[in-house]
Structures are given as C-alpha cells and as structure tokens.
Amino acid sequence: MIAASAVPVITIDGPTSSGKGTISRSVARALGWKLLDSGALYRLVALAGQLAHLDPDDVDGHVSIARRMQVEFQADDTGEERVLLEGEDVTGAVRAETTGQGASRVAVWPAVRDALVARQRAFAEPPGLVADGRDMGTVIFPAAELKVFLTASAEERAARRHKQLISKGSTANLADLSREIAERDQRDSSRAVAPLKPASDAVLLDSTGLAIQQVVARVLALGRERGLWKV
C-alpha cells in the first residue's frame, strides 16, 4: 500500500472502551502503518508517578515525568505488544484499571498535556500513522486526512470491558464498571483543556452491535474514498 501524501494520518478518537484500541491496531496492521496509543502515554505518566511515590496532586512532578520518561512500544515474538518504561516491562501495570483512573486524572492538567504533544507528533512517520486517543483529531493532528470519532452505548462499553477483564482472569463487577465508565466519560468530556469531543470534520461511527471487522472495513473504506493510499 503506497501512501498518497508523505505521512498521512488517520485519527481515531472516542470514549473509553469504545473499541478504539482494537480498531486502531487492526487498521494500522492492515495498512502496515505506525500506531500511536496516546492513552498509554497518559497511563505511563500516572504509573511512573505511582512508582516514584509522587503525591497524586503533584503537577510539576508529573510534568517532569511526561518530559523525561523513556518509553518503548515493542512487539514480542507472538506479536503481543509490550510496553517498556525506563527499560522495564510494565505491560500489565499500564493496562490496570487503577492506572487508567490515574491517567484520567493527570490528563486534566494542561502542563502534562503540553509536555506530551511533541512526543505524540513524533509518531507520524512514513508510510502513515493511525493515532488513537481523545484529542488526536482536535489537538494533536488537526490536519489529519481522516478523522473518526468512534462511539458505542455506555452499556455495550461496560459489557466489552467486563468481558475483557474476565478473559484476563481478573474479577470485575458489571455495575461497578458501568459507574466507573460513566465517571471517566464525565471527567474526560468536561475538562477545560482538550475535552473529549469530535472534531468538526470527524466522521461519527457508532460501533454498537457491530463486529470489529465491520468497523475496520468501514474505516478502510473511508480512507480509500479519500485517496489516502494508492492500491
């Protein structure tokens, strides 16, 4: 697949558990493009803060971490992604529910967001980038060739997250998850800086009741229609 412009970007934004991660990864794989999991960067800031025993309210300390932390995203022999923080494998800890909650808190601070801008833009490398997050289309890549805003009903998102946690052997309570998802949506959409909202030129895609492959096919069809690559 030859990209039409130097570094074309597809942004996939949306609320927690909307399927963004899975869809973004599948689209990037199908195209052979790079992937930016921006949520992982916020999670890493929160996790590094916890590991350094930072006060959860210490803004400057978290900004300093956001600027300096050494992170690497790797695929192991089985194709599973591994996340390294300062050379240590933190894949499990990054995905933990508590780290997600911490990420949502540090993501409210404008200085932390600023500190991560250049790091995120640096992921745009040939042949193209699929960027997954909350503000990819609005703030980080405002000139992206294709912007998708992926949603799904709150019930379906809680059910998906529940299934995911159970399959990993964790215990999870559907009612607690629904409540946490609603709280996180509220915090992510109401913050002053880069709130979760679709870019004015984003395509809204509701994945409720759709299979992963159907959503991936729709995103690829949109990219093809826009001439993002030459087949």
Select the residue whose beta carbon is closest to ligand DC and give its number: 39
Which member of 18, 24, 38, 64 binds ligand DC (CB under 6 A)? Answer: 38
Q: Is 15 in the site for ligand DC (CB under 6 A)?
A: no
In the complex, least distance from residue 109 CB atom to ligand DC, rounded to whole angstroms: 10
Q: Near ligand DC by CB under 6 A, which window of 98-106, 145-153, 208-216, 219-227?
A: 98-106
Q: Is 103 in the site for ligand DC (CB under 6 A)?
A: yes
CA dist 185 and 151 (Å) reads: 12
Q: Is 11 in the site for ligand DC (CB under 6 A)?
A: no
C-alpha distances in Å from residue 207, one per residue of 5, 118, 119, 216: 29, 31, 29, 10
Q: How do the residues of the chain divide into helix, strand and coil, expressed in percent and rounded to 5? A: 50, 15, 35
Which member of 8, 39, 49, 137 binds ligand DC (CB under 6 A)? Answer: 39
Q: Is 25 in the site for ligand DC (CB under 6 A)?
A: no
Which member of 9, 25, 184, 215 binds ligand DC (CB under 6 A)? Answer: 184
How many residues bind ligand DC, per CB under 6 A? 14
Which member of 23, 34, 135, 145 binds ligand DC (CB under 6 A)? Answer: 135
CA dist 214 and 191 (Å) reads: 32
Token pair 């405002």 in the structure block, residue: 142
Q: Is 134 in the site for ligand DC (CB under 6 A)?
A: yes
Q: How many residues does the chain have?
A: 231
Q: Is 137 in the site for ligand DC (CB under 6 A)?
A: no
Q: Is 144 in the site for ligand DC (CB under 6 A)?
A: no
For strands 146-151 and 9-13, give the pairing.
parallel
For strands 9-13 and 129-133, give the pairing.
parallel
C-alpha distances in Å from residue 179, one per residue of 63, 113, 182, 188: 29, 26, 5, 14
Q: Is 133 in the site for ligand DC (CB under 6 A)?
A: yes
CA dist 78 and 60 (Å) reads: 38
Interface with ligand DC by CB under 6 A: which residues? 16, 38-39, 42-43, 100, 103-104, 107, 133-135, 184, 188
